[in-house]
Amino acid sequence: MNATLTDNYSLFGHETERLLLRKVTWDDFDAWTKLFTSGELALFLGLHPKLSKKELIQLWFDKTFNRYENNLGSMNALIDKKTKRLIGQSGLLVQTIEGERRLEVSYSILPEFWRQGFAYEAARACKNHAFEKEWSENLVSVIEPANIGSDLVAVKNGMRLEKTVFELHNAPFNVFSIRREQWLNDCSRD
């Protein structure tokens, strides 16, 4: 992994077909309350489900800004180009998995925007950008086993289940991955 301190693995200012990507700000806090509609979503994100909605959001934002400040990756706010509404977050995050630093393609979409392809659109943009910039030879997505929707996004993004680990968040998490070599092969066929 070799992003500079100024890059911090961000996609700020990038666009996809339907999305604008920008830095997450405290102004996004209230809109993000819609994410935690159930304790299950907190578990999917490695957070304690017994925390209040406000505590969960505060913890999420604290982690996001800590990542910005310590060059540990960047979540990008996903803004719908048509409506200008926040629909989710996605980014490239530095994770330590079994003692190895890995670059993760991460995505979280507000429930009202599920099943519309936004997670895949954002995840694909993150994967392509990371490999184009040669930030890593191997990308992962770390997913709680019951989170079938995110599994499907990872697979559609060209990833395959690599292993299940138990050290993250004191619970099992599946690690999906794709190598840059595979991405290059897939690009040459398009």
How far from 147 is each of 76, 108, 133, 138, 162, CA to CA, in Å? 21, 11, 29, 22, 16
Checking if the pLDDT of 150 tops 60, the result is yes
Average pLDDT in the 171-178 region? 92
Secondary structure letter of residue 166 according to DSSP: S
Render pLDDT for 111-121 as a digit per residue (tens, 0 to 9). 999 999 999 99
Render pLDDT for 8-17 as a digit per residue (tens, 0 to 9). 899 999 999 9
State the pLDDT at residue 187. 81
Whether 31 and 95 have beta carbons less than 8 Å apart is answered as no
The pLDDT confidence band at residue 144, using thresholds 50, 70 and 90, is: confident
CATH number belonging to the domain at 19-189, selected among 3.40.630.30, 3.60.21.10, 3.30.1330.10, 3.40.640.10: 3.40.630.30
What's the CA gap between 17 and 75, in Å, rounded?
Answer: 19
Checking if the pLDDT of 42 tops 60, the result is no
Name the residue ranges covered by the structural domains of the chain: 19-189
Render pLDDT for 55-69 as a digit per residue (tens, 0 to 9). 878 888 999 999 999
The residue to which tokens 């996903």 are assigned: 78
DSSP per-residue codes, 39-84: HHHHHHTT--TTS-HHHHHHHHHHHHHHHHHTTSEEEEEEEETTT-
Contacts of 115 (CB under 8 A, 6+ apart): 149
Model-level pTM?
0.89
State the pLDDT at residue 40. 59
